[in-house]
Chains A and B, each alone.
Chain A
Amino acid sequence: MNMIKSLAAVLLGLAAGALLMALTGHNPAEGYKFLFEGGLKNPERIGNTLATATPLILTGLSVAFAFRTGLFNIGAAGQMLFGGFCATAVGHLVDLPRAVLLLLMVLVGFLGGALWALIPGILKARYNVHEVVSTIMMNWIAYWTVFYAIPSYFKGGSETESRQLPANALFHENWLSELFQGSYVNLGFFIAIISVLITGFLINRTTLGYELKAVGFNRHAAEYAGIAVKRSIVMSMFISGGIAGLAGVAQYAGNASSIQIGILPTQGFDGIAVALLGANAPLGVLVSAIFFGLLYSGRGFMNAMTEIPPEIADSIIAIIIYFAATSILIDRLYRKYKSRRAANKKQGG
């Protein structure tokens, strides 16, 4: 059912996008042809699609995980930024063999993001401060912390960017780039895949996952059943933030090699849409993030090959996201339709 809902959302979104193209005097079939070619035409483009999807997989996973435990983590952007910042700091300051260094960066990135979500988690558990408000605030604290810290400690060639990480501290792999003929896809993609697998296992197969979900379903019932609710809330924010932190590692030490100040990563907010379209299931998130990656990656090619201006391309993507985000509506319509039919049957019979 969830899959049908998501597919319906995508199809509706694509249809609405086609309508928009037609209304502005462009050929939808041609537009979509180049959109998908742009993301899939050759190995390099496929690699770029996967690389674009990588941070989205992780932020989507982060948001989905929090959703499953009844929390709305809207702070993935800040957690991602801060996690990426911590990993970047380690990359600059620590000198270790590459494999150890990369693992350390992953760990520190996770902890950085986790720390950023831990604070709203504690505020929620102890003082019942709504996590939407506190995570948004934490976004801006991360933004300005990085804004201050990068020029002060890791100043690069230009004023608005950190120094580039040394090759030793980057997730680039030559064999991967060669396999995908010069694409910038990197080890970050594997971090994302592994995170999907671990999170899936954690949510569905472990006691901890069960407890966290139980709190999400009904806090009071969970408390009555003897689950430490406050601890669970803190725990799930911690994990959710950590996963977002990994997105930062993949973005700033994989897709890019430096951090720019003055920008909250857009992937943080896109993660919400990814999670919704993926029905908050880890595998669903993986698929929907790759779909988003395809749209973002192919958009430029569509724009270059046709006369569709980039703003229209943006709007088309926004419409698809919108339908994905409102997939709950489709659910409701479907239920209404079903109950009406059931009622009709009763009346008829």
Chain B
Amino acid sequence: MKKGVMSLLSLALSVSMLAGCGSKPEEGATGGAGGEAPKASFTVGMVTDAGTIDDKSFNQGTYEGIERANKDFGTGLKYQKPAGTTEAEYTKEIGNLYDAGYKFIVTPGFKFETAIFKAQEKYKDAKFVLIDGAPNSGEPDAKPVVADNTVSIFFAEQESGFLAGVATALQLKEGEAGFIGGIQIPPVQKFNWGFQQGLNYANENLDTKVEIKKDNVVYQGTFDNVAAGGQLASQMYSNGVKVIFAAAGGVGVGAIQEAVTRAKGGDEVWIVGVDVDQYNDGVYGDKSVVLTSAVKKIDQAAYDMIKAETEGKFPGGQTLTLDAKSDGVGLPAENPNLSEEVLKQVDEVLEKIKSGEITVSAEQGDLLP
């Protein structure tokens, strides 16, 4: 009995530990920049959201932006990984960065809203960049309070989803599409609704026929359940879906893996990636299942804020929304799976969004949930 318990125990522990250290340590926090890069008067720290620094999404995007800024301006960089996702744990890591002299702090994700709300008051001589959220007290109907030492950044995800939808419809001409979301939160919903509007627009104006059925719009409920992502994708593909837009972090990774397996077996299946260019995640042989990605230029946002600070132009107190016009959202620079023709048409659509001829709604309206 005892032996059985112990072996079960070690199994359980190793499982929980595997979960804890699944990521490989990144070549990261290496302090100041090497070479002749100029030395900025401040150092930049980052606190990661749930998930690892190489999550192919928020954390990674933010980190890459800071890394680039470090190369250009010598701002240094350091990231802290909180033990959990409560406000107290975020606050603790912000405090650690501050105590260690990192007074320009970038935090990705809406979960930091309440932590930044308190930190911007507590550390008045520090600067904060909150991506995808606005600081607030967390009480019901609380008004966002962006202090003078904080910038809050949002993205027009719907425009990015719209472009991906148009590109998908144009490239595939006809067939069924699906959507897998993580948790049903506004940024994910806006991707979904934008994507549907994109498909509809192409079907109505550009002579395509790519439909999306209600059953094939699914929110998995987490951002990290890779296995569930694979299952959902498998179901959809079996039901005749040709392309899945996966806006779901780790769940999307599972969907990509499923697509790769099927593509290797000769099926024609596609994934539309999210947040960053996910082309490389879907590579098999010399091809990739990732048709294109609905990109949010998180790295650019982080970079721009640091750059502004080096020039003494930090837009403290402001709430910025980055959209297609400001080049904050869009498709990746390279799209090997889209034809020249398609790219040209997508560019025309992009211009129309920029000029305001097409407006993409951030609301559900009569779209699928």
Contact = CB atoms under 8 A, between A and B. Distances in A.
Interface of A: 24, 38, 48, 51-52, 70, 72, 74, 132, 147, 156-161, 163-164, 184, 255-258, 260-263, 265-266, 269, 272-273, 276, 296-297, 299-301, 303-305, 307, 309-312, 314-315, 318, 321-322, 325-326, 328
Interface of B: 1, 5-6, 8-10, 12-13, 16-17, 20-21, 23-26, 28-31, 45, 48, 50, 52, 78-88, 91-93, 96-97, 99-100, 102, 110-111, 113, 136, 138-142, 183-186, 221-223
B138 A258 contact: yes
B26 A311 contact: yes
Given A160-B111, A184-B88, A311-B23, 20 more contacts: A38-B96, A48-B92, A157-B139, A158-B113, A184-B91, A257-B138, A260-B86, A260-B111, A261-B183, A266-B83, A276-B9, A300-B80, A303-B29, A304-B102, A307-B31, A310-B81, A311-B21, A311-B26, A318-B21, A321-B13
Contact of B100 (A164, A305, A328): A305
B99 A307 contact: no
A297 B82 CA distance: 10
A184 to B, nearest CB: 5
19 contacts: A74-B12, A157-B139, A157-B141, A158-B110, A159-B185, A160-B185, A164-B140, A256-B86, A257-B138, A262-B221, A266-B16, A269-B16, A297-B92, A304-B93, A304-B97, A312-B25, A325-B9, A326-B10, A328-B6
Contact of A262 (B16, B78, B87, B183): B183
B311 to A, nearest CB: 27
- What 8 A-B pairs have minimum CB-CB distances, sorted nearest first? A310-B81, A304-B100, A311-B25, A300-B96, A304-B96, A256-B86, A269-B16, A159-B185
Nearest to A266: B84
A258 B183 CA distance: 18
Contact of B24 (A72, A256, A300, A311): A311
A315 B87 CA distance: 24
B10 A164 contact: no
Contacts of B82: 300
Given A156-B138, A309-B26, A322 B221 contact: no
A266 to B, nearest CB: 7
B88 A304 contact: no
A235 B120 CA distance: 49
